[in-house]
C-alpha cells in the first residue's frame, strides 16, 4: 500500500501484514482475524485513510462499550494527519441537536451500535454518505444484537458500502462464523495466527500456568446437601418428561423455564405453575453449587441472604427444606469464622510474592461476580497490596463505575498508581492496558472467546504470564477444559479459513 497522506508515519509505522490486510479491505468487505495485541485498529486506520483520500465518503467505527469507543478515537487521533474536529466520538449524553451538527461536520465517527441504530431510526443520521463501516469485536454480529441492525441499515442506505470486521476470536462454531459473514456480507477473510512468518516477530510469549486447590471438607459437606436437593428437583423434571438427562445444563434449565412460563401465561395450568416453581428452584440451587465450588462462603452467604429477602414461594420452599437449613447453618458458622475458599488464600499468596519481587508489577485478576471482586480487594488490602475494583455501571442502587471512571482507573493503572486491577467481564474486551505482567483467572470461564480476551490483556508489549486458579473436581475444571477444547476447535476452523 502506497503512502497515504492521512497516516502519520512518524507515529505509526505499518507492519507488512497490516498493509496486506488493508490492501484486501479497501476492495472487498473483509473479516480480519488477528490475535490480540497485534494491531487490528491500525488496519482500520489504514483503510479509513485510504477511504478519505480516494472517496468523499465518511467512516463509521462501532465498538461495544464507550471506553473502547473513546480509546479507538484516541488511537486514530494520534496516528493520523487530520483535523481533530473531524474525529467524533458519539455518546447518548450529547444532545440530539448537537449530534445532528456533528454528523454534518465530522469525517470519522466512533460510537456504540445502539447510538447509531437509534439515530438512524429517528432520522437524525443518514448513512448514505458513509463509505466504510468498521465493526470492532465483530464476533458479536449475530442474531438481533445491535451490530447486525446497524449493518443492515448501513447496507440499505450507503451508496458505496464497504465493511471491515475486526476480531481476535471469531468463535469455535462454524455456523456462528458463517452467521457473522452473512450479516456483514463478507467477501474476503484475512487471517493471521501467531505462527505466520510476517506476524511472528511481533508476538510476545505468554506462559500459561494452572494452579490447583482442593475443596475443603466443610465445603464438600455443604455441596453434598445442595446436590441432593438439586438432584431431587431434576428428577421431578425428568419424570415429567421436561428434561432428558440428569446432566441438563443451566442454559437448558433457563430455556425450559421460559417455555413453561410462556405455557402458564397462556393457559394458567396448575401443573405448569408447579413445574415452573420446580425449575426455578433447580436453577437457584445450581447457582448456589457454582458459588460453593468456585467462589466461596462470602458469596454463598450473601446469595442465601438475598434469597431470604426475596420472599417468593419458590425461595421460601428452598430455605425451609431440611437439607438446605442444615447447609445454611454450616455456611453461617463458616462465615462468622471468616473461612474463605482456598483459591482466595492462594491468590493473595501469588500476588504478594509478585509485588515483593517487582514493586511496579501490573496484575489483572478476573472474577465473574462483583461480590468476589470486593472480597479479593479486601483480602489484598489486609496484605498491604494496592488494588482497584474495575466493574461495570451501577445496577439497582448498587455500586458501580461510570465509563468516565473506568477510563480514569485504566490510566491510573497504566501510570503504576496501584499494582492490581480486579475486573469483572467489563475488562475483557478490547481495552488497551499496556505492559500487563500477569493475568489471573480467579475461575476459568467456559467460553473460548472470553478466555482469549482475558488472556489477551497480557503479552502485548512484553512477554506475560496467565494463571488459572482451579478447584479440583468442580466446575472450575469442567470450564477450563471446555474453553480449551472450544479454542482448539476454533483454531482448526481458522486454519481451514486460511487455506480457502
Range with lowest mean pLDDT among 278-292, 378-392, 400-414: 400-414
How many whole angstroms separate alpha carbon 375 and alpha carbon 381? Answer: 10
SS3 string, the chain, reads CCCCCCECCCCCCCCHHHHHHHHHHCCCCEEEECCCCCCHHHHHHHHHHHHHHHCCCEEEEECCCHHHHHHHHHHHHHHECCCHHHEEECCCCCCHHHHHHHHHHCCEEEECHHHHHHHHHCCCCCHHHEEEEEEECHHHCCCCCHHHHHHHHHHHHCCCCCEEEEECCCCCCHHHHHHHHHHCCCCEEEECCCCCCCCHHHCCCEEEEEEEECCCHHHHHHHHHHHHHHHHHHHHHHHCCCCCCCCCCHHHHHHHHHHHHHHHHHHCCHHHHHHHHHHHHHHHHHHHHHHHHHCCHHHHHHHHHHHHHHCCHHHHHHHHCHHHHHHHHHHHHHHHHCCCCHHHHHHHHHHHHHHHHCCCCCEEEECCCHHHHHHHHHHHHHCCCCEEEECCCCCCCCCCCCHHHHHHHHHHHHCCCCCEEEECHHHCCCCCCCCCCEEEECCCCCCHHHHHHHHCCCCCCCCEEEEEEEECCCHHHHHHHHHHHHHHHHHHHHHHHHHC
**Each residue's pLDDT tens digit, 439-489:** 999 999 998 888 888 888 776 667 789 999 999 999 999 999 999 999 898
**Each residue's pLDDT tens digit, 326-383:** 999 999 999 999 999 999 999 999 999 999 999 889 999 999 999 999 999 999 999 9
Of 337, 372, 398, which residue sits at a domain end?
337
Computed from CA positions of residues 446, 451, 453, 454, in that sequence, does the dihedral angle turn out positive or negative? positive
Are residues 447 and 433 part of one domain? yes
Range with lowest mean pLDDT among 45-54, 234-243, 293-302, 385-394: 385-394
**Residue 124 forms part of a structural domain:** yes
> Angle, to 10 degrees, between the axis of helix 270-294 and the axis of helix 217-239?
160
pLDDT band, residue 194 (cuts 50/70/90): confident
Are residues 176 and 302 part of one domain? no
Are residues 450 and 310 part of one domain? no
**Residue 378 forms part of a structural domain:** yes
Domain extent, residue 139, equals: 16-199
Are residues 373 and 432 part of one domain? yes
Q: pTM here? A: 0.86
If you average pLDDT over residues 382-395, what whole number do you get? 87
At 434 the pLDDT is 62
**Residue 4 forms part of a structural domain:** no
**Residue 11 forms part of a structural domain:** no
**Residue 248 forms part of a structural domain:** yes
Are residues 179 and 33 part of one domain? yes
CATH number for the domain harbouring residue 172: 3.40.50.300
Are residues 172 and 106 part of one domain? yes
Q: Which three cell numbers stand for residue 224?
A: 453434598
Of 199, 232, 248, which residue sits at a domain end?
199
Are residues 353 and 332 part of one domain? no
Burial classification of residue 215, based on how many CB atoms lie within 10 Å of its CB (0-12 exposed, 13-18 middle, 19 or more buried): buried
Are residues 237 and 169 part of one domain? no
Of 320, 337, 354, which residue sits at a domain end?
337
**Residue 6 forms part of a structural domain:** no
Are residues 454 and 440 part of one domain? yes
How many whole angstroms separate alpha carbon 37 and alpha carbon 128? Answer: 33
At 83 the pLDDT is 94
Are residues 422 and 375 part of one domain? yes
Are residues 333 and 345 part of one domain? no
Are residues 431 and 286 part of one domain? no
How many whole angstroms separate alpha carbon 94 and alpha carbon 70? Answer: 14
Q: Which three cell numbers stand for residue 103?
A: 454528523
CATH number for the domain harbouring residue 254: 1.20.1320.20
**Residue 86 forms part of a structural domain:** yes
Q: Could you give the number of structural domains in the chain?
A: 3
Amino acid at each position: 500500500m502506497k503512502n497515504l497522506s492521512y497516516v502519520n508515519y512518524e507515529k505509526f509505522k505499518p507492519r507488512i501484514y497490516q498493509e496486506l490486510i488493508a490492501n484486501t479491505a479497501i476492495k472487498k468487505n473483509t473479516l480480519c482475524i488477528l490475535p490480540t495485541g497485534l494491531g487490528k485498529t491500525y488496519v482500520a486506520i489504514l483503510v479509513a485513510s485510504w477511504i478519505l483520500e480516494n472517496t468523499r465518503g465518511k467512516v463509521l467505527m462501532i465498538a461495544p462499550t464507550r471506553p473502547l469507543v473513546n480509546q479507538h478515537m484516541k488511537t486514530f487521533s494520534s496516528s493520523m494527519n487530520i483535523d481533530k474536529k473531524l474525529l467524533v466520538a458519539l455518546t447518548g449524553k450529547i444532545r440530539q441537536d448537537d449530534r445532528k451538527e456533528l454528523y454534518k461536520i465530522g469525517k470519522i465517527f466512533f460510537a456504540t451500535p445502539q447510538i447509531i441504530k437509534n439515530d438512524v431510526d429517528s432520522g437524525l443520521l443518514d448513512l448514505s454518505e458513509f463509505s466504510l463501516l468498521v465493526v470492532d469485536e465483530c464476533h458479536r454480529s449475530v442474531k438481533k444484537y445491535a451490530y447486525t441492525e446497524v449493518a443492515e441499515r448501513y447496507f440499505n442506505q450507503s451508496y458505496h458500502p464497504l465493511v471491515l470486521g475486526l476480531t481476535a476470536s471469531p468463535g469455535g462454531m462454524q455456523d456462528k462464523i458463517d452467521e457473522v459473514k452473512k450479516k456483514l456480507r463478507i467477501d474476503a477473510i484475512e487471517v493471521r495466527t501467531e505462527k505466520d512468518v510476517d506476524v511472528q516477530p511481533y508476538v510476545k510469549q505468554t506462559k500459561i500456568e494452572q494452579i490447583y486447590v482442593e475443596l475443603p471438607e466443610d465445603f464438600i459437606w455443604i455441596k453434598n446437601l445442595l446436590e441432593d436437593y438439586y438432584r431431587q428437583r431434576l428428577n421431578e423434571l425428568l419424570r415429567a418428561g421436561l428434561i432428558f438427562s440428569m446432566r441438563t445444563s443451566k442454559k437448558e434449565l433457563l430455556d425450559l423455564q421460559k417455555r413453561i412460563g410462556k405455557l402458564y401465561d397462556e393457559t394458567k395450568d396448575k401443573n405448569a405453575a408447579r413445574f415452573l416453581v420446580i425449575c426455578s428452584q433447580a436453577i437457584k440451587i445450581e447457582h448456589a453449587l457454582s458459588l460453593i465450588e468456585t467462589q466461596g462462603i462470602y458469596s454463598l452467604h450473601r446469595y442465601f441472604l438475598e434469597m431470604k429477602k426475596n420472599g417468593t414461594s419458590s425461595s421460601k420452599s428452598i430455605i425451609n427444606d431440611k437439607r438446605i437449613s442444615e447447609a445454611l447453618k454450616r455456611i453461617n458458622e463458616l462465615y462468622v469464622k471468616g473461612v474463605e475458599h482456598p483459591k482466595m488464600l492462594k491468590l493473595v499468596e501469588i500476588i504478594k510474592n509478585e509485588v515483593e519481587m517487582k514493586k511496579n508489577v501490573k496484575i489483572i485478576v478476573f472474577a465473574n461476580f462483583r461480590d468476589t471482586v470486593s472480597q479479593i480487594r479486601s483480602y489484598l488490602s489486609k496484605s498491604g497490596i494496592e488494588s482497584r475494583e474495575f466493574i461495570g455501571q451501577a445496577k439497582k442502587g448498587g455500586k458501580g463505575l461510570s465509563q468516565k471512571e473506568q477510563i480514569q482507573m485504566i490510566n491510573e493503572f497504566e501510570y503504576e498508581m496501584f499494582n492490581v486491577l480486579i475486573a469483572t467481564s467489563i475488562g475483557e474486551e478490547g481495552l488497551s492496558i499496556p505492559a500487563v505482567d500477569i493475568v489471573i483467572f480467579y475461575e476459568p470461564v467456559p467460553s473460548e472467546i472470553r478466555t482469549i480476551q482475558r488472556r489477551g490483556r497480557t503479552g502485548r508489549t512484553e512477554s506475560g504470564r496467565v494463571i488459572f486458579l482451579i478447584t479440583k473436581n468442580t466446575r472450575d475444571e469442567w470450564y477450563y477444559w471446555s474453553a480449551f477444547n472450544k479454542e482448539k476447535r476454533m483454531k482448526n476452523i481458522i486454519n481451514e479459513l486460511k487455506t480457502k
